[in-house]
Structure 1
Amino acid sequence: MSHPFPASKRKNSSRPAGLSDTAAPRVLRPAPLRQAVYDAIVELIVQGTLERGRHLVEAELAEYLGVSRQPVREALQRLQADGWIELRPAQGAFVHIPSEEEVDQLLAVRTVLETHSAALAASRATPADVNRLWELQQDGLNALAVNDSEGLVAANAALHAAITALAGNKVLAEHIGLVERKWRWYYLPIAQPRGQDAWSEHAELITAIAAGDVSRATDIMHRHTERTRETYHAERLAKAEQD
C-alpha cells in the first residue's frame, strides 16, 4: 500500500524530537468490506442463526454473504480477538460458548453502567423524551404478546439505548455500547422467561424518569439488571440439569 504522503515530503518534513524513521505512523485506508463482513457475522451470532459451538466454514460464510473468502478470513481473526468465536488448531473456527463466569462479569459491569445511565436520564429527560420511552415500551409489550423473542431482544435494546442517549454522557454511551452487543446475544435465550416481569420493571423505570426521581430510577435500574442477571444463571442451570 502506498504511503499517504509523497516520499519527498516525508524526507523533508519535520518530526517531533525523539521519533525515529522506524517509529513513523502509517495511516491505513478504511476497509468497509471487512467491517461489513464482521458486523454481518456478529449479527448472525447474536440472532442465533449461527448458534453457540457451531463450526464456521470460510467458504460457506463467503458464499452466504456474497463476498470472497479474504474478508471473511480477516473478519474471523477479529471475531476471535473480540471473543465471538474460537479458532482451534487443525479444527477451524467455532462460535464461542460463553462461560458462566464470563457472562457474570459482563452483567456485573452492565449493572454499574446502566444504573448510572438511568440516574442521569432521570435528571435530564423532557416530556417528549418520556413519550418516546413509552413508545419503545409498547414495542416490547407488542413483541411479548406474540411471543416474539427476537422482537423482545430488539425492543429491550432500543429502550435501554434510548435511556443511555438521555443520559447525555458520550463516554458512558461508548462503554455501554461495547457491553450491549454481547448482552443482546446473552439475552435471547431468556427474553421469554424474563417476559412480563422485565417489561413491568421497564414501566416502573419510565415512570421514575418521567418524575425526575433520580434515586428511584437508580434503584429500579439496579434491581432490573440484577434480576436479569439472576434469571440468566437460573435458566442456564435448569438447562444443564435437563441435559
Structure 2
Amino acid sequence: MTTPARRRRSSASTPPREPRTLRQPLERPAPLRHAVFDVIAEMIINGELKPGEHLVENELAAQLGVSRQPVREALQRLHAEGWIDLRPALGAFVHTPTEDEADQLLATRTLLEAESARLAAKNATPEQVEHLYSLLNEGDIAVTDDDQKAMVAANSALHAYIVKLSGNKVLAELIELVDRRVRWYYWPIARSRGAEAWLEHRELIEAIEARNSRKAGELMRKHTERTRDSYHARDRSGENAQG
C-alpha cells in the first residue's frame, strides 16, 4: 500500500500542466463560395467571360441567384489564383494571360503528361484501353459536330483518364493543379487543332495498348508541344484570345 509520503513525492514529481494557448475558432465550410468560384472560373474558361471584361458583383450575384457576399469572396480567390485582376477604384476584370504565362504552364504540362502516358502504357488493362477508345470516339463526334465545348470537355476527359492510368497519385495531384488553366488555353484553339489532335490521340492510345511506354511518352510529349505551338501561333495572329 502506498504511504502518504510516497504519494506526496509522486505528486511533486509531475509538474502542473500549463493552460493551452487559445486558438481561433475553426472556420466553417462555405460551400456556396466554392460553388460560385467554380461557376465563374468555368465562365472564364469557356469564353462566356472574356479577357479584360469588367466583372460587376451585383450583376454576377443576380445571374447566379446568390447574394453579393459569396460572389465577393469568390472574386478574391479568383484574384489570388490569377483568373481575374483587381484594380483599385475600378473593380474586377478577367485576367488576360500573357504569352509567358501560357508558355510556362503548357511547358510544365508537357513534362507531367509525357510521364503519365509512359506509366499508363505500363499499367493499363484491356478494359481501361477500351475506355480510352470510347473517350476517343466522343472527341471524334465533337469534331464532326464542330462542337467546341464538347471538344474541350472530351480532350480534358481523355487526358485526365491517362493520368489516372499512370497510377502515380503525386503526378495526378500536380496535373490537377494546372488542368483548369490548360482548358482555358485550349478553348480558343480547340477548333484549329480539331481532327489533327484526335488523330494524335488515336496514335497515343495505340501505343498504350501495345504497352510501348517509351513511344507513349514521346507521342504525348509531341502532342502537348503541338498544342503549345498552336496556342502561341494563334496568340501572335492577333485574334482575340477567347473568340
TM-score normalized by the length of structure 1: 0.89
> CA deviation digits over 1:52-72, x for unaligned, max 9?
111000000000010000010
How far off is 1:131 after superposition?
0.4
Aligned to 1:118: 117
Aligned to 1:55: 54
Cα pair distance change 1:196/1:91, threshold 3 Å: same
Within 5 Å, which residues of 2 pair with 1:157-176?
157-176=156-175
- Provide the aligned length of Structure 1 versus Structure 2: 225
**Aligned pair 1:72/2:71, yes or no?**
yes
> CA deviation digits over 1:14-50, x for unaligned, max 9?
78xxxx726x364222110111111111111111111
How far off is 1:13 after superposition?
8.5
2:200 aligned counterpart, secondary structure: helix
**Counterpart code for 1:145:** T
> CA deviation digits over 1:183-225, x for unaligned, max 9?
1011111001111111111001000000110000010000000
> CA deviation digits over 1:79-116, x for unaligned, max 9?
00000000001111000000000000000100011011
CA distance in 2, matches of 1:26, 1:142: 52
Within 5 Å, which residues of 2 pair with 1:4-23?
21=21
Aligned to 2:4: none
Cα pair distance change 1:239/1:119, threshold 3 Å: same
> CA deviation digits over 1:151-185, x for unaligned, max 9?
10000000001101111111111111111100101
CA distance in 2, matches of 1:70, 1:159: 36
- Over the matched positions of the two proteins, sequence identity in percent amounts to 56
Cα pair distance change 1:25/1:199, threshold 3 Å: same
> CA deviation digits over 1:96-153, x for unaligned, max 9?
0000000000001000110110011000000000000000000000000011111100
Aligned to 1:199: 198
Aligned to 1:97: 96
TM-score normalized by the length of structure 2: 0.89
1:239 aligned counterpart, secondary structure: coil
CA distance in 1, matches of 2:188, 2:138: 19
How far off is 1:51 after superposition?
1.1
Root mean square deviation of aligned Cα: 1.8
CA distance in 1, matches of 2:129, 2:18: 54
CA distance in 1, matches of 2:153, 2:108: 21
Structure 2: 5+ residue stretches without partners: 1-15
How far off is 1:240 after superposition?
5.4
**Structure 1 stretches (4+) deviating beyond 4 angstroms?**
12-15
